Amino acid sequence: MRKEIEQLVAPLGITVLTSIQEKALANYKNHRETILYAPTGTGKTLAFLLPLVELLRNEQAIDGVKALILSPTRELATQIESVFKSLKTEFNITACYGGHSLQSEINNLASNPTVVVGTPGRLVDHIERENLKLIGVQYFIVDEFDKCLEMGFQEEISAIYKEMNNLNKLIFGSATKMQQFPEFIPLSDPIFIDLSQQDEQPDITIYGIKTLGEKLDSFQHLVTQFQNERAIIFCNFREDVEQISTFFQEQKMAVAAYHGGLEQDERERALIKFRNNTAPLLVCTDIGSRGLDIPEVKHIIHANLPDKLDAFIHRNGRTGRMTENGSAYLFLEDIKRAKFDVPQTQNFEIETHHTYVHPGWTTLYFSGGKKNKINKIDLFGFLCQKGELTKDEVGVIAVLDYTSYVSVKSKNINALLGKLRESKVKGQKLKIDVAY
């Protein structure tokens, strides 16, 4: 690894680049367009951010927006923003997406960030309002390009592309190989880096399971058997997500629901609880199969099989990543009705004698964040001093723009809340509650 790159990734604790990152860095300079085909979890985000930083550092002068990054989802947009900030470069980045404060984005854009990342619809909105001018943009990146097209953003991406007349480099990331590249972005000198069919296949065991009476009962016994190892239940429809997650809540089991019909803060809260392990079970639609920053998942359960093989592969791609192994579970009756060839499965017997044990951690909500000048150290000190918690009883701390979430270990949450609500955080009276 070159010294400059080594210094860039050091804050992330990275000592070795992935294959897609190495190939991108070795080839992007010699071509106008770089197309990266690689599965989720192989490091595509850094595969385009590292070349981007090199390009920006070679600029004679930075004045206004030089790079634009498109993302199909707001979660992925914030993830890209977070990773870029973690590189601790001299360049500013701002994110624009639906569900976020429009005025806050207008203020951020007025400060002339070097890099803007956002969802296509929101960026078009800013362009039409003349909050965002793309005349100086030289570097254009689209992450999860196949997903953008699948979600119907062709018109928005085409409109954005036409606003940029001084592009020097374009990078497109995609989890699946596209048979035909869209005509609205003509390729003049492309290089295709294809790792979509890597020799190292993920270590995933696919099991076929029988339903024990009702499917909901089967879900409960199966998840209980996992003993709080992270698991995702994938559903085809939002209504199924709501039904299954409500069932688990009624059984007093820690669960988080995630689908496109939820408000932005609800989706953020669900992912935070899943990441910090206060809700090691996530029930979601296929929107959770790609483009989300979530930790290693041990088990994937298909509540129903999707219509397409690609969707099935992306779901399973959430487990068995990097050096870990994973498991996927399919109901035998669903396999018979599958619309694609299901891989060979192994038999799996659901055991019913296990007793559910709560993870033992709870996520607390604070009505203040970065914009209130509150950081992780402030919250950690507050919980230890005012809440009388030990350092081992304070878990993952997530500080957003206007809210914060902290996982805590406490036998009596009500008593803890009583202590905390009597005090101020950094001189500010905040609403503090359990993050439901």
Q: What is the 3-state secondary structure (H, E, C) of 385-415?
A: HCCCCCHHHEEEEEECCCCEEEEECCCCHHH
Percent of the chain with pLDDT over 90: 71
Q: What is the pLDDT of residue 202?
A: 62
Structure letter (DSSP) for residue 144: T
Tell me which residue of 404, 428, 427, 432 sits closest to 417, measured CA to CA: 432
On the question of pLDDT at 275 being above 60, the answer is yes
C-alpha 60/C-alpha 378 separation (Å) is 39
- Residue 198: per-residue pLDDT: 58
Cα-based angle 245, 356, 347 (whole degrees, multiple of 5): 80
Confidence of residue 199 (pLDDT cuts 50, 70, 90): very low
From first CA to last CA, the distance across the chain in angstroms is 44
Strand order in the sheet with 115-118: 93-96, 115-118, 67-70, 139-142, 169-174, 33-37, 190-194
Q: What is the rounded average pLDDT for all residues in the chain?
A: 91
Q: Which residues are registered as beta bridge partners of 398?
A: 405
How far is Cα 30 from Cα 419, in angstroms, rounded to an integer?
61
Q: Is the pLDDT of residue 24 over 70?
A: yes
How many residues appear in the chain? 436
Question: For the residues 10-21, what does the mean pLDDT come to?
Answer: 89
Q: What is the torsional sign of CA 54, 59, 62, 68? A: negative
Domains, the chain, with CATH or none: 3-194 (3.40.50.300), 203-348 (3.40.50.300), 362-434 (3.30.70.330)
Which is nearest to 292 in space by CA: 307, 311, 308, 270? Answer: 270
User: What is the pLDDT, as a whole number, of residue 321?
Assistant: 64
**What confidence tens digit (pLDDT) does each residue in 41-95 have?**
678 899 999 999 999 998 877 788 999 999 998 889 998 998 999 999 999 999 9
**The pLDDT of residue 294 is above 90:** no
Given this model, what pLDDT does residue 375 score?
A: 95
Q: Which pLDDT score, from 0 to 100, does residue 151 have? A: 87
Query: How much is the pTM?
Result: 0.76
The pLDDT, as a whole number, for residue 13 is: 85
What is the per-residue pLDDT for 291? 67
Helices (H) and strands (E) in the chain, counts: 15, 18
Q: What is the pLDDT of residues 382-421, one digit of tens each?
A: 999 999 999 999 999 999 889 999 999 988 999 999 999 9
